[in-house]
Amino acid sequence: MAIVASVTPVVVLSEYDPSTVTGFLKDASDITLGVAISYEEYIRNGSNYASIIKSEFDNVTFGYQMKHGAIVKNNGILDFTRCDELVNLVGMPIFGHVLAWHQNNNGDYLRSLATGSASSSNALNLINNGDFEQGTGNTFTDWSNLVGGNAEGSYAAETTDTEPNTNSKRALKVTVTKVGTNAYDMQSLGPNFKTVAGKQYRISISIKSLTGKGQLKLVVQNSAYTENQLTFSTNTWSNYVWNVTINEINPQIKLHFNGEGTYLIDNIKIEDISLLTPPTNAEITKKVDAALKTWVQGNVGHYKDKIKAWDAINEVFTDGTPILRTGSSTGDAYYWAQYLGRGYIAKTFKYAREANPDCDLFVNDYNLESNAAKLDSTIGLVKELLSQNVPVTGIGTQMHMSINTPQSGIVSMLQKMAATGLKVRISELDISINPSNTKGFVPTKALYDAQAAMFNFVVKTYIATVPVAQRHGITVWGVSDKDSWITPTFNRPDYPLMWDANFAKKPAYVGFWKGFK
């Protein structure tokens, strides 16, 4: 394979006048061009934003909406409602981002996998008749089933289709034919239970949605109101777990039915988490592995017909080093390697391939153009995975750069990535003009021209260095400067994209466009 030895740097031009450009970016290039978008920006920015996306680019990447934290609920269930809404709003091809990353996860749910077992004999069930065994006919001891407002529905005892592998003889059957204006218009009111204010409790409930869809709110309330929205996408019995801190005493358990359908409910338990038996490391590993598989295959499988390429793993190595990333799992941060070790990487690819045999799967990371050790480690990881028959098909380089990024590093990076023979994509391109966070910073024409020249250089180098068959595409990380992640993340004024805050083309747009000429 012929690899270009060097690329001549582009000299800063005196003029990058947007009025000289005719046509659209995607028409200027045979390379697939993408842009990162978000649900909030799409709704807030209106027609200008949508028009730029659809006229200038071939595909989109969702900056957040397709990540673990956006889809996985506190009970582990995948809820695609908001993501599907954005998919439908955009109506364009999508690059999937991202399957396994250490940030933007539902950390609360993932960390709950390491807490005590809900079946522990050390913890008593704090509510009476959570299994609905007590009662006669269609009534249940300690439970009141109400239909109010403009809701329509009914309650009954189910004696045939109860939770399997238990001793259950009765379950609560709820049929919602019309959802009320208020979620509580149709509700089951359970018994009050004793708590210590400020302690954490585990609430588990088994539910089967006969229609394979619907939703209900799991509520804990005395004077304060705490809820967990459950959304269903299967018609099999499933157990949902909610770890919740209760800040009052003697609350009541309630079920608010805010989705049409027929539901079977069984075996509700409320337990003091401090009394649960801690699981072994082997048990935690098994649960984390199952959670990773459920997430990856659920996401890839849900969008199998719409998404043909994914960032399978993202930012595997720590900042500035070739060391596998680990850290403190707090907030939305969760390190899969904590329990799965290095093996989580191969597992992610394999689970994704099982869900979609035909999609491209990428390793994605940043600073590869400026950190040779990290670049070499990334390529080494790819080769290691390929030797194990892990289905890696491409490498993504984010390229969050500045006008001061050495061009020699860009050339070297793309040469080494192309030499793997895999598909190569620039996945998150933006170019900062105020990387030093200068006080009182005001952008100048010279800085905008330097930015334009760097966009130009990146495009020309990609074309000159990566063989046609390996060019998977270039994605710019955002539309306008006002929506860039850089300003809020680093608390500095910056203007790293191709459109300004008013959606006017900048010199950067011209530099990018001319890169294809």
Residues β-bridged to residue 143? none
Q: Are strands 238-246 and 199-209 parallel, antiparallel or unpaired?
A: antiparallel
Cβ–Cβ < 8 Å for 149, 181: yes
Would you tell me how many other CB atoms lie within 10 Å of the CB of residue 366? 20
Catalytic residue among 158, 163, 271, 315: 315
* Bridge partner list, 37: 62
Contact in structure between 349 and 123 (CB atoms under 8 Å): no
- Tokens representing 99? 């399957």
* Residue 292 and residue 229 in contact, taking contact as beta carbons nearer than 8 Å: no
Dihedral angle computed from the Cα positions of residues 44, 50, 56 and 60, in that order, rounded to the nearest 10 degrees:
80
What does the alpha-carbon distance between residue 466 and residue 471 come to, in Å, rounded to a whole number? 6
Strand partners, 272: 201
Of the residues 41, 56, 369, 428, which is catalytic?
428
226 phi, psi to nearest 5 deg: -125, 130
CB 499 within 8 A of CB 69: no
**CA 341 and chain centroid, separation:** 21
**Cα–Cα distance list, 2 to 132, 252, 413, 470, 508 (Å):** 72, 71, 15, 13, 30
Contact yes or no for 33/57 (Cβ under 8 A): yes
Q: Is-catalytic flag, 315?
A: yes
How many whole angstroms separate alpha carbon 448 and alpha carbon 108? 43
Query: Is the torsion defined by CA of 101, 107, 111, 117 positive or negative?
Result: negative
Residue type, position 15, single letter: E
Phi–psi pair at 351, nearest 5 degrees: -65, -40
Quick one: tokens of 433? 């003009």
Q: Is there a contact between 252 and 191 (Cβ–Cβ < 8 Å)? A: yes
* Burial (Cβ within 10 Å: 0-12, 13-18, ≥19) of residue 354: middle
Ordered strands of the 171-178 beta sheet: 152-158, 171-178, 261-272, 199-209, 238-246
d(CA 263, CA 132): 14
Q: How far apart are CA 251 and CA 193, in angstroms?
A: 6
- Sheet harboring 225-232: ordered strands across? 144-147, 186-192, 252-257, 214-221, 225-232
Nearest-Å Rg of the Cα atoms of the chain is: 27
Which of the residues are catalytic?
315, 428
